[in-house]
């Protein structure tokens, strides 16, 4: 039920409606006698500005940045220590979409 309440914050007709539900979630979870819900309430309260920020920025998120960072971290681990900085940079640009793939390049 608590997970559904958090989910409902993001599925409202307007950001103002979502923010109102988010405020209720913040107020109620922190006082819940169920330890897991109370812990979630503490976490959401700690991240209050970030949690509510979604509703103040018309739904802006850093999801795209996190996705590219995840790709970079994966390929950094796979590379196991590039010695040539230019090759490392080019590989990161390639996997991040900053360079056309050689398999998709046109002659």
How far apart are alpha carbons 69 and 73 in whole angstroms? 6
Q: Which two tokens stand for residue 4?
A: 């559904």
Which of 36-46 are b and which e, b meaning 16 or more Cβ less than 10 Å from the residue's Cβ? ebeebbeebee
How far apart are alpha carbons 23 and 9 in whole angstroms? 9
27 or 61, which is more confident: 27
* Among the ranges given (34-38, 52-56, 64-68, 80-84), the one the predictor scored with the smallest mean pLDDT: 80-84
Please state, rounded to an integer, the average pLDDT across all residues of the chain. 85
Q: What is the mean pLDDT of residues 1-18?
A: 92
How far apart are alpha carbons 30 and 42 in whole angstroms? 6
pLDDT at residue 92, rounded to an integer? 78
Residue 99, phi-psi category: left (phi > 0), alpha (psi -120 to 50), beta (remainder): beta
How far apart are alpha carbons 76 and 88 in whole angstroms? 8
pLDDT tens digits for 58-100?
888 888 888 888 888 887 777 776 778 887 778 778 777 766 6
């Amino acid at each position: 039920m608590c997970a559904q309440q958090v989910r409902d914050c993001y599925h409202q007709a307007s950001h103002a409606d979502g923010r109102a539900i988010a405020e209720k979630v913040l107020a109620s979870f922190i006082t819940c006698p169920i330890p897991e819900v109370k812990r979630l309430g503490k976490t959401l309260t700690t991240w209050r500005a970030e949690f509510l920020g979604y509703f103040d920025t018309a739904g802006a998120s850093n999801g795209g940045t996190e996705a590219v960072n995840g790709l970079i971290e994966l390929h950094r681990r796979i590379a196991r220590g590039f010695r040539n900085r230019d090759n490392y940079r080019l590989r990161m640009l390639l996997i991040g979409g900053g360079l056309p793939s050689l398999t998709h390049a046109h002659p």
